[in-house]
Structure 1
Amino acid sequence: MKNRSIITLSIAFFSLMSCSQNDDSFIGGSISGGESEISNIYPVPPSQWMGGTDPYYSEGYTGDIMPYFENGQFHIFFLHDALNKSPGKGFHDIHEFESSDLATFSYKGKMIPYGNANEADFAVGTGSVVKVGSMYYFYYTGHNEMPAFMQSNARESVLCATSTDLKTWKKNTAFKITAPAGYYNFDFRDPHVFYNDELQKYSMLVSTQTEPGRKAVLLHFTSTDPASGKWDVQGPIYTTTAEDNYLMMECADVFKMGNYWYLLFSENWGQSKGTHYRMASSINGPWIKPENDRFDGEYFYAAKTASDGNKRYAFGWSPRKLPENDGGNKEWAGNMVIHELTQGTDGKLGIKAPESVKNLFTENTVITLDNKVGDVTVSNANYTLSGDAKATFKSIGKKAKINAKFTLGNTTGSAGFMFYVDGTENYYKIAFEPSNNLIVGYNSQLRTETKIPFNFESSVSYTIEIITEGSVCVLYIDGKVALSNRIYGRDKTNWGIFSNDQNFTISNLEVKKTK
């Protein structure tokens, strides 16, 4: 759960106006209420999900995701961020998508509601699900910063709901964990619970800070029996370093993959916003920070993982903007984005698009060249751009996948892809910058929206896939990193390729669509 300005009441209920459900700002969902099937790659909850006319039940967005896999189904719990929040009401109830393939989704509606102004979960925050015997335990964050409540209560606490079927959840009103002595109860959230084989106990990680000192930590609790409600504090499993100096490490996740343990967390205040990871040979550390400790930029946030027993996937969300246009500012919640995790021989993590998503794109599409500027050579599906040049193509619509290989001729300048090309010189570009060893997303005003480190070499062939649906556009390169982008108007305008002081060769460029 992100500690952000939107949490304060003056901003949390900032918008009572209704936003029209148009192609740019909203993707998918039934307007009839109840369960619905969603075929979107990057889903948001359906509008009017409870029926009726209450503005709160209009459009909404996908916030922090808490995936759980069992019996062939991914139960994808998430914080529902309603577009229209009424004064005096709480927010961020927990809703659910289900999916067996991560390419189509069934919306199951609200699972855990927020409480009233006198309860700890007036706003609901991130958590996790664990099964103990025949009972499911959903540990989640309670957040309430109403002045009257905070006079005698911590702002944040860990709460619990239980279920026997993953469908009907009952809050355990007798359960609450608040920050122990030495830790900050104003920021105490995002419980991640799992069975710890090395300790033969259940472990819970909670994002908090030391008090005094305000150092970000992942505080470790253990329990021999979650049914007892007794959790013992053990101290931090990880503390921010002086070099990183993170304000908070949110939405932690711990898992083992091959011979390595991995620790994921998200940070949204420093110079490298997004989901980070650490690796170790034991769950007790020491935790090693890879040279590049992110696998996507800041438009993929709060990633938590789940495995189907064969592959492991990272579930995050790509922020929407306010106002919802290319120049808008990044907001909390948006569309769900899912990456498949890969693992190198050195244990370092990479990501790629899920195979089920790639398999949706089976229809070859003609690429229509619209314009060339500068030194551009075209031969079938191969393009060479030299110096300052660009080639633009006709729109490929709402849902498409771009495949290509490319090489950079030198280690200076930049090259890449353009979107939202509307006939002016202002467009969104995803730039490969070898001199900076970065992939950068710039909006149409040349503002850096997102970036990810990547070590480029001249004359080396790289493979890219770009999967785009609506205003979400995700670039994958060599199964190592991705760059998620929010590009409003992309599906209605041209796209293209460009070079600046670079020799840029694109080969086997193709576009595929779904049936």
Structure 2
Amino acid sequence: MPSINEVPTPPPEGTQYSRPSGAQASADAIPLLVDDNYHVFHLTTPPYTRHHPPRLRSTWSRLRSTDLVTWGRDPEPVIRPGNVASSPDADGAWTGSAVLGPNGNMEIFYTGYNLAQNGKQVILRTSSKDRHGSSFDDTAKIISIHGEGLSQFEEIDFRDPYVFFNDAEQKYWMLVATRLAKGPHWSRGCLALLTSNTLDSWEVDSQPLYAPNDMFCPECPELFSLPNGKWYLVYSRFHAPNAGTVYRVAENPRGPFRIPRDGSHGRLDGRRWYASKSCPKSRDPSKRIYFGWIGDYVDDEGKWLWGGDLGVPREVSADGRGNLRVDIAEEFRILLHNAPSLSSPSIVAQSLNISSLGSKRTCFPDFGTEAQTQDSFVTFNIGACDANSFGLVLQADGTEKGHQLVFTPSGNGLFSVSLMTDFPPLDDFWADQYSLHLRRPVDGPELVRHDSVSIDAGVSILLRNQLVEVFCGGRSLSWRLPLDLEKWKCEEAESTGHRLGWFVNDGTVSLAGITIRSLDNVGKTVL
């Protein structure tokens, strides 16, 4: 066993980052930085599963990196569900957190799920004998909780523990996602606070840490401070309003936690970049590195699934007003900007001017066959704009129908940025008249939206198979497009479809510095 100061040998490189295998999905991330080593645990679905309960009988996988670029994956799960029906985690080892304990060794706290006990959730603890978690106890134990405050919460939803050491109070804090036992049914979601001196026994605070009276149940919470002195409470919401990972701001760790006036209501992205959690950036305490997943979708059922692909590592920091900003992790961005260009040699200036007065115009520049059919990294800048709106069309078919990334000027050089569905469903009367009975998904037609965004620094878009990740002005927008890239090549690329195009609506826009780079050389250890 390594000593307390030794760094264990990393797992073999060459394994896939975004998901453990084609048959399994990645889900809730649990990052921890130890001695400049990133440990990213995440939940993993059983192979070839789709829905609850089989899909949520999850294990814990681990990725490791020292540079946020090249990742190795542990060959075996770190935590597996219990193998007997009476095990508290028999039906899933769910979300939790990793932390260094008082002795400097790694500890994991996680949620155990058992259907035989009416779906009851308990918090389990497993310990390692070293700080890098080379191995953990064979059997996890239910933590000891005491205090009269426990009675104020429901028994079923009591999960997703987040543990950290609060220097100001010299105690370990644990945030638990739960629901109040009394109050309006649909808005009792809250976060309980438990404290401990040693991690062995936990006392429930007499009041919930956070009870906003506007959600059913929070998920995957975390709490941290930045050098600006502010505290940030981050959690995920699986329902409107503002579904996805959100943050709140306070002057001290006990709140009150306020909704930021940042143009996004505290959303870091949208509904489909989910259960996102972070750790400090190595050697830069002013930043956090975030990891979240973009869900799988089943066409033959018309359903989104729990779990999917991990999005690229994201760097989050606070601006001068204390609002959080999201961008691609700098190390990864440098790698992307060094990737070879896919643009056609015939396009020299890499600029585009589109004009259409009083109407909408869409164009599909010829950037070459490879740009149409390969995973790519697209960047561009806005030279000038006097249009009502402009943007990109993604996976357009022969009728020019496709998802749209829309930029709408909002004054003072700022924009509203939104990701739109390819075709919104119609009211029954119009659907009957035109025989266009489209499904009515929980998303859309506006999938993700951010207001008051400055795009002076340009726009970056990652296209990985079906995944779209957009970064601009400290905001991100993520989605999974309808068609797999291989299917796209067969059905659209060789006919009249276009993977990428631009449009303008009533006005003129000038785009500059357009580049399309190949992601093929980046490799699976990064993506």
Q: TM-score, normalised by structure 1?
A: 0.80
Residue pair 2:467, 2:479 contacting (<8 A) in 1 also: yes
SS at match of 1:358: helix
* Correspondence for 1:169: 136
SS at match of 1:112: coil
Q: What is the CA–CA distance in structure 2 between the aligned matches of 1:417 and 1:369, rounded to whole Å?
A: 22
Unaligned runs of 5+ in 2: 1-9, 425-443, 494-498, 522-527
SS at match of 1:181: helix
The yes-or-no answer on 1:444 pairing with 2:454 is no
User: What displacement does 1:88 show?
Assistant: 9.0
Check 1:208–1:88 CA distance in 2 against 1; reply closer, same or farther (3 A cut): closer
The answer to which of 445-454 and 503-512 deviates more is 445-454
Q: What is the CA–CA distance in structure 2 between the aligned matches of 1:449 and 1:386, rounded to whole Å?
A: 25
The yes-or-no answer on 1:156 pairing with 2:121 is yes
* Correspondence for 1:321: 297
Match for residue 65 of structure 1 among 10, 21, 29? 29
User: What displacement does 1:421 show?
Assistant: 2.6
Q: What is the CA–CA distance in structure 1 between the aligned matches of 2:304 and 2:41, rounded to whole Å?
A: 23
The yes-or-no answer on 1:498 pairing with 2:503 is yes
* Correspondence for 2:67: 101
User: What displacement does 1:79 show?
Assistant: 0.5
Match for residue 82 of structure 1 among 24, 41, 46? 46
Check 1:238–1:438 CA distance in 2 against 1; reply closer, same or farther (3 A cut): farther
Q: What is the CA–CA distance in structure 2 between the aligned matches of 1:363 and 1:224, rounded to whole Å?
A: 49
Residue pair 1:237, 1:284 contacting (<8 A) in 2 also: no
Check 1:369–1:322 CA distance in 2 against 1; reply closer, same or farther (3 A cut): farther
Residue pair 1:428, 1:441 contacting (<8 A) in 2 also: yes
* Correspondence for 1:401: 377
The yes-or-no answer on 1:367 pairing with 2:332 is no
The answer to which of 66-75 and 378-387 deviates more is 378-387
Check 1:36–1:97 CA distance in 2 against 1; reply closer, same or farther (3 A cut): same
SS at match of 1:82: coil
User: What displacement does 1:513 show?
Assistant: 2.5
* Correspondence for 2:405: 430
SS at match of 2:157: strand
Residue pair 1:266, 1:301 contacting (<8 A) in 2 also: yes
Structure 2 counterpart of 1:163, one-letter code: S
SS at match of 1:357: helix
* Correspondence for 1:330: 304
User: What displacement does 1:445 show?
Assistant: 3.0
Q: What is the CA–CA distance in structure 2 between the aligned matches of 1:184 and 1:270, rounded to whole Å?
A: 22
SS at match of 1:389: strand
| Matched-pair identity in % | 23
User: What displacement does 1:302 show?
Assistant: 0.8
Q: What is the CA–CA distance in structure 2 between the aligned matches of 1:36 and 1:91, rounded to whole Å?
A: 26
* Correspondence for 2:390: 415
* Correspondence for 1:511: 516
* Correspondence for 1:19: none
Structure 1 counterpart of 2:194, one-letter code: F
Residue pair 1:418, 1:495 contacting (<8 A) in 2 also: yes
User: What displacement does 1:404 show?
Assistant: 0.8
The yes-or-no answer on 1:239 pairing with 2:217 is no
Check 1:506–1:102 CA distance in 2 against 1; reply closer, same or farther (3 A cut): same
The answer to which of 314-323 and 501-510 deviates more is 501-510
Match for residue 201 of structure 2 among 200, 211, 230? 230
Check 1:411–1:279 CA distance in 2 against 1; reply closer, same or farther (3 A cut): farther
User: What displacement does 1:323 show?
Assistant: 2.2
Q: What is the CA–CA distance in structure 1 between the aligned matches of 2:476 and 2:197, rounded to whole Å?
A: 39
Q: What is the CA–CA distance in structure 1 between the aligned matches of 2:107 and 2:203, rounded to whole Å?
A: 17
* Correspondence for 2:165: 195
User: What displacement does 1:69 show?
Assistant: 1.0
SS at match of 2:331: helix
Q: What is the CA–CA distance in structure 2 between the aligned matches of 1:328 and 1:429, rounded to whole Å?
A: 20
Check 1:85–1:409 CA distance in 2 against 1; reply closer, same or farther (3 A cut): closer
User: What displacement does 1:408 show?
Assistant: 6.5
The yes-or-no answer on 1:43 pairing with 2:14 is no
Q: What is the CA–CA distance in structure 1 between the aligned matches of 2:295 and 2:446, rounded to whole Å?
A: 11
Structure 2 counterpart of 1:250, one-letter code: E
Check 1:138–1:461 CA distance in 2 against 1; reply closer, same or farther (3 A cut): closer
Check 1:411–1:511 CA distance in 2 against 1; reply closer, same or farther (3 A cut): closer
Residue pair 2:395, 2:403 contacting (<8 A) in 1 also: yes
SS at match of 2:516: strand
Residue pair 1:411, 1:435 contacting (<8 A) in 2 also: no
* Correspondence for 1:345: 320
Residue pair 1:140, 1:190 contacting (<8 A) in 2 also: yes
Structure 2 counterpart of 1:271, one-letter code: P
The answer to which of 400-409 and 258-267 deviates more is 400-409
Structure 2 counterpart of 1:112, one-letter code: I
Q: What is the CA–CA distance in structure 2 between the aligned matches of 1:185 and 1:416, rounded to whole Å?
A: 48
The yes-or-no answer on 1:138 pairing with 2:108 is yes
User: What displacement does 1:389 show?
Assistant: 1.4
Structure 2 counterpart of 1:336, one-letter code: L
Q: What is the CA–CA distance in structure 2 between the aligned matches of 1:235 and 1:416, rounded to whole Å?
A: 51
User: What displacement does 1:444 show?
Assistant: 2.9
Structure 2 counterpart of 1:350, one-letter code: R
Q: What is the CA–CA distance in structure 2 between the aligned matches of 1:185 and 1:93, rounded to whole Å?
A: 23
The yes-or-no answer on 1:297 pairing with 2:270 is yes
**1:457-472 equivalent positions in 2, closer than 5 A:** 461=456, 463-472=458-467
* Correspondence for 1:180: 150
User: What displacement does 1:114 show?
Assistant: 0.7
* Correspondence for 1:18: none
SS at match of 2:58: coil
The yes-or-no answer on 1:257 pairing with 2:229 is no
User: What displacement does 1:315 show?
Assistant: 1.1
Q: What is the CA–CA distance in structure 1 between the aligned matches of 2:124 and 2:398, rounded to whole Å?
A: 53
Q: What is the CA–CA distance in structure 2 between the aligned matches of 1:218 and 1:408, rounded to whole Å?
A: 46
Structure with greater strand percent: 1
Aligned residues: 448
Q: TM-score, normalised by structure 2?
A: 0.78
Structure 1 counterpart of 2:248, one-letter code: R
Match for residue 271 of structure 1 among 227, 237, 241? 241
User: What displacement does 1:240 show?
Assistant: 3.7
User: What displacement does 1:461 show?
Assistant: 4.2
* Correspondence for 2:58: 92
Q: What is the CA–CA distance in structure 1 between the aligned matches of 2:462 and 2:62, rounded to whole Å?
A: 24
Considering Cα pairs closer than 8 Å and 6+ residues apart, tell me whether 1 or 2 has the greater RCO.
2
Residue pair 2:387, 2:508 contacting (<8 A) in 1 also: no
Residue pair 2:374, 2:518 contacting (<8 A) in 1 also: no
User: What displacement does 1:36 show?
Assistant: 5.1
Residue pair 1:160, 1:176 contacting (<8 A) in 2 also: no
Structure 2 counterpart of 1:248, one-letter code: C
Residue pair 2:144, 2:202 contacting (<8 A) in 1 also: no
Match for residue 210 of structure 1 among 170, 180, 202? 180
Unaligned runs of 5+ in 1: 1-33, 48-58, 371-377
Q: What is the CA–CA distance in structure 1 between the aligned matches of 2:257 and 2:239, rounded to whole Å?
A: 22
User: What displacement does 1:202 show?
Assistant: 0.5
Q: What is the CA–CA distance in structure 1 between the aligned matches of 2:248 and 2:382, rounded to whole Å?
A: 31
